[in-house]
Homo-oligomer: A and B are copies of this chain.
Amino acid sequence: MSKDLPHVVIVGGGFGGLEAARALRNARVRITLVDKRNHHLFQPLLYQVATAGLAASDIAAPIRKILAEQENVTVLLDRAVAIDKKRKVLVLSNEELPYDFLILATGVTNDYFGNDSWEAHAPGLKSLEEALDIRRRVLLAFEAAEKEDDEAIRRRWLTFVVIGGGATGVEMAGALSEIARRTMAADFRNFNPRDARVVLLEGGPRLLPAFPPELSEQTRHDLQEIGVEVQLNARAQRIDEQGVLTANEMIEARNVLWAAGVRGVPLANSLGVPQDRAGRIWIRPDLTVEGAPGVFVIGDAAAFPVEGGILPGVAQVAIQQGRHAARNILAQLARKPLRPFSYQDRGSMATIGRNRAIAVSAGLQMTGFLAWIAWVFIHILYLVDFRNRLAVLFEWSWAYFSYNRSARIILERSAPRVELPPHPPEGARKEPA
């Protein structure tokens, strides 16, 4: 491939970054896609890995493999450290990458609203590593309860608090309750897993605030029916090894999960352009950035103003913006005007548990079994890699009929033993892709 072709650098191999790369497959450009991980992650199903329903590799596929046939793409496993917008250079851990166009698709990370000490007690759910960490904690909590004779301490092991009533929080709480009431039901001798307490805390007045109020109410009802204790207008005031303190109660719990907030990754700061309160980059209607020529920002990393706020951080926005950024790059190369982005909302959905979900599309609302079936099929259809579709379909069919969860495997954290090739250091786990 000629070195003279315009160089498009994409940071991040999530939904947006991958779609941008694919949309440029026939373009006369060189593309370099940089990600600090080797895999694309199907984030909407991450909670299933955390709750032992799916294996890590079921919802992830090597970015390199996905793009193997697209000859104008080079995939680099590396960490983007900074952007020098004057020199038009992306700084990686060991080298610099000059760009003509830069597409930032770096996503977001967990945000503890300034209470960084909470992170140790309430892990978030953004990466496969975090999902496996949560899985280990949850499974080990049941094991610890089996060995504990002190009733009060055992109760604390068996209390799960999920903070944040958005889609991730609702799905986690529902899955945890099913694990305790179904999957684990017969497996312990010294306690009844059905006695586990699962609490979902939401700071606002209703769950799933992005959905219509009737569906929020249906979700609360469904969650309570499967044993989840939903507390609305309840904020965590303190989180520590004892549990969670709210205005009403000290909830003694050894298992606290964070699904309450996200923020843009630090790489965005190095661009030196306006960001919203959560560190997302304000973008113009054509997805470019004021004062940073050649730079596009898409997906969760971007703040795209719409009536009443910004576009939500969902896969559909990232995918459509990735495609649009690619088109605007082609327009600019052809010296045509860039076009403004407009979002086509195809609807949204959340699952609550076996046979229960909610969905809204084109003003139409669905609940219950029908919504759940729709959820299952749409998620399988969107799984990037063909093989993964079949594998997940298989796991789910099995789980549905057996009530079992196939990935109930506790992996120890392996001890670092030897220097590996240049890759993101431990401390950088939350940094840009």
Contact = CB atoms under 8 A, between A and B. Distances in A.
B187 A420 contact: no
B414 A133 contact: yes
A412 B424 contact: yes
Interface residues of A, number: 78
Nearest to A64: B187
Contacts of A274: none
Contact of A422 (B64, B147, B186, B187): B147
Interface string A419-433: 111111011010000
Interface in A137-160: 137, 139-141, 143-144, 146-147, 157
Interface in A97-121: 119-121
A166 to B, nearest CB: 23
B421 A141 contact: yes
Contact of A426 (B74, B188, B412): B412
Contact of A65 (B37, B187, B412): B187
A60 B146 contact: no
A62 interface: yes
A62 B409 contact: yes
Interface stretch (A309-317, A358-366, A386-394): A386-394
A3 interface: no
A381 interface: no
Contacts of A188: 64
Contacts of A189: 74
Interface in A396-433: 398, 402, 404, 406-424, 426-427, 429
Given A186-B68, A187-B68, A417 B141 contact: no
Given A413-B414, A415-B429, 18 more contacts: A39-B410, A57-B407, A57-B408, A65-B187, A65-B408, A75-B146, A77-B147, A129-B411, A129-B412, A141-B421, A143-B423, A147-B422, A241-B418, A387-B402, A391-B398, A394-B394, A412-B426, A413-B426
Give the top 7 A-B pairs by smallest Cβ distance, nearest first. Answer: A144-B421, A55-B55, A57-B407, A77-B143, A129-B414, A38-B410, A415-B426
